[in-house]
Chain A
Amino acid sequence: DIQMTQSPSSVSASVGDRVTITCRASQDISSWLAWYQQKPGKAPNLLIYAASSLQSGVPSRFSGGASGTDFTLTISSLQPEDFATYYCQQANSFPYTFGQGTKLEIK
């Protein structure tokens, strides 16, 4: 199975900050990586698919990048509604696997 290692597990930041979350795949997954945002008690919300494609309706302050087996989610200027937990997911092959999550907290 493909292991997805996300870092950091938590991060504190302020409104207006730029934040980057990293996800590393244990093997080649091409560009088949998705990023989700999840708020407490809610279902995940798809932000980015195919590593760098912005899902319809998602603000442009969210962006995704890739270099080999390393993937990034960047929020360019944090807004109050962005404080949540973020997950990466490889969609290259079954079994799908998620990263362990990154909790983004208000500093």
Chain B
Amino acid sequence: EVQLVESGGGLVKPGGSLRLSCAASGFTFRSYAMNWVRQAPGKGLEWVSSISGHTGYIYYADSVKGRFTISRDNAKNSLYLQMNSLSAEDTALYFCARVNQLRENYGMDVWGQGTTVTVSS
């Protein structure tokens, strides 16, 4: 079964750090570009970051650039998001998602269940 499972969310104080993980199974992880997408409580979807299958490219939303770092370990079938200098505006449910059919232009077809990040003092 194709599956993505996020972990690492939690409650963190403003200015703190957190590292999210996404464990992939059921497909050839190294072949797929991967994404992080977040959703603040009661709000819409916001793309956060993308990384290609073989680390050929990395992109970030302006809202997280310089604070968040996306990475992957293809040997461990895992995707990561290191989040530093967190603020209340980063409070959200964070999803990892796979590109559809190996094509970045085709949307995201497999999503995890999400992990919740709450930034509060």
Contact = CB atoms under 8 A, between A and B. Distances in A.
Interface of A: 1, 32, 34, 36, 38, 43-46, 49-50, 53, 55, 87, 89, 91-92, 94-101
Interface residues of B, number: 25
25 contacts: A34-B106, A34-B107, A34-B108, A36-B45, A36-B107, A43-B111, A44-B37, A44-B97, A46-B100, A46-B107, A46-B108, A46-B109, A49-B100, A49-B106, A55-B107, A91-B104, A91-B106, A92-B105, A94-B50, A95-B60, A96-B47, A97-B47, A98-B46, A98-B47, A99-B44
A43 B114 contact: yes
- What is the interface of chain A mostly: helix, strand, loop, or mixed? loop
B27 interface: no
B45 A98 contact: yes
Interface string B45-60: 1110010000000011
Contacts of A32: 105
